[in-house]
Amino acid sequence: MPVKITGYETHDVRFPTSLTGDGTDAMNTDCDYSSAYVTLKTSSDLVGYGMTFTIGRGNDIVCMAIRELAHRLVGKDVEDLFANMGKTWDYLCSDSQLRWIGPEKGVIHIAFGAVDNALWDMYARSRNKPLWKLIVDMTPEEVISATAFRYITDAITPTEALAMLKAKEGTKAEREATVREKGYPAYVTSAGWLGYTDEKVARLMREAVAQGFNHFKMKVGANRDSDLRRGKIIRSIIDDPQYLPAGTAPRDPNGPDLRGKNAGPTGSVLMIDANQVWDVPQAIEYVKSLEEIKPWFIEEPTAPDDILGHAAIRKALKPHGIGVATGEHAHNRMVFKQLLQAEAIDVCQVDSCRLAGVSEVLSVLLMAAKFGVPVCPHAGGVGLCEYVIHLSLIDYIAISGTMERNVLEFADHLHEHFLYPASINRNGRYNVPSNPAEGYSIEMRQSSIAEYEWPHGSYWVNSPKKSQ
C-alpha cells in the first residue's frame, strides 16, 4: 500500500544562549539560538525531521510559514515525491500566494528550507542511509533531477553540471574512503564570540589548539582597538608551538592547503567576521587596519545582498592579502550566482536552511565548483553543524572532488539536544555521520523540546527571561 504524508507538527524551540554571550557579534548582540522545527508524518512509521535557524523572536512567524508549506505535502505519495526531488522542490515553491511574500527569500524561503530538509530526511531514512550517503550514491542523472536550476542556467546548465558529476563519478569511492578515515576539515568559531572576555577567549583558543584545530574565527566590527587587542591575543596562542598537541609538528604555512591564507608560523589561520555591520568604504578601511593580525578573509563585511559592494571590497583588499567570504544570509541561489559571476568572493558560505533546503544547496555547490570557489558552509547556530557536515561530504565526494582548502565551521554548543550530534575527532576534523538511521541528523530529543519550547516549555515557564 502506498505510503502517504498524513500531517505535520511544528515546534518553536528557543535556547537562552544570550545569557552566556554565545553567538554575539557586532550586529547581533542578543542571540537566543532557536529552531523552527517540523516533523512530517506518514501513514506508516516513516517520519521526516527538519528545522530552520533563527535567533529568537520571530521564530513563531517562521513556524506559521512552515505549517503553510508543509500542508501542501499532505496526501502526497512519498515515493512519487522522492522520484524527482527537483520537481518536488518546484511544487513546494509554486503556490503563487505564498511565493508572493518572497519570492524565494525571507521568512517564506527559510520556512521552505525546513520543509524541504524534512522531506530529504524522510527520503534518507526510507533508504536506511545518512543524507550525504543517499546523495553520493545517486547517479549523476539523479542528482541533476534533484537540483533547482531555475534562474541560474546563465551560470551553469544541467548539461554542464551533469558532465561535471560524471567526471567525478569514477573516483567517488576513493574519496569516500579517505574522508571516512580522516574526517572533514573544520574550523572553530565558538572561541571568538564578541561578548566573551579576553580571558575566556584565550582559554577557549588554547583548548581549541589542543583539540587539533588550525583554523579559527573571531567576531569584529564593534571597536577597532578591541578587535586588534583580541586578535593579537589569539595570534599569540595559535602561532605559538607550545600550545600544539603533544607530538604535533607545526604545519607548513606555504603548503598547498594553506598557501594564500595568511597562515602563521605553526600553520594556523585566523578569519574575521563582521556580520554585515559596515558600509563598503568603511569595511575597506576597517579591515585594512586589521592587516597586522593577518586574517585569511573578512566574512560578511557589508549587506548580504550587495553583490557589487562585496566585489569592490574584495578588489580593494586583495593587495593586502585578505579575501572576502559571505553567504550565510544569501537569500537564494541567484545571489550566489551573482557573487560568483562578479568575482566578489573567495569563499562561498552556504547556509543549510536559509537556502530552501538540499535541492537549492546542490545548485550552489555545482556553481561554486564550476567557478573554482571553495565552499565552507555556515554552521554557527543550533542544528547547523549537524546539517552541514552532510553538505560538505556531498561536495567533496560527488561534486568538487576536493577538501584540501575547505574548512567547515564548528561551534561547540547545543549538540546534546540532537539524537545524532555532530562531533570532532582528535585532529580537529568532523567525524562522518555513519548511522544508517539518522537521515539528515536533525532529529531533536523530545526532552529538549519539552524543556525549551516557547513559551510553555519547562525552562521558559520557570525562567525570569520572559521578555521575548
Dihedrals phi, psi of 171, to nearest 5 degrees: -115, 10
CA nearest 4: which of 51, 40, 50?
40
CA nearest 257: which of 399, 354, 402, 139?
402
Residue with cell 511565493: 99
CA nearest 14: which of 43, 44, 57?
57
Which is it for strands 429-430 and 269-273: parallel, antiparallel or unpaired?
A: unpaired
Which of 76, 310, 337, 378 is labelled catalytic?
378
Q: Is 219 a catalytic residue?
A: yes
Helix (H) / strand (E) element for 9: namely: strand 5-14
Residues composing the chain:
468
Q: Is 378 a catalytic residue?
A: yes
> With contact defined as beta carbons under 8 Å apart, do 366 and 122 qualify?
no
Dihedrals phi, psi of 453, to nearest 5 degrees: -65, 135
Beta strand segments in 315-359, E: 323-326, 347-348
Residue 305 φ/ψ region, left for φ over 0, alpha for ψ in the -120 to 50 degree band, beta for the rest: alpha
462 class by beta-carbon count within 10 Å (0-12 exposed, 13-18 middle, 19+ buried): exposed
> With contact defined as beta carbons under 8 Å apart, do 339 and 348 qualify?
yes
Dihedrals phi, psi of 340, to nearest 5 degrees: -75, -45
CA nearest 233: which of 270, 258, 178?
270
Q: Is the dihedral of CA 311, 312, 317, 321 positive or negative?
A: positive
Helix axes 59-70, 106-126, angle to 10 degrees: 60
Separation of alpha carbons 171 and 232, rounded Å: 43
Which of 219, 310, 390, 417 is labelled catalytic?
219
CB atoms within 10 A of CB 386: 27
Active site residues: 219, 378
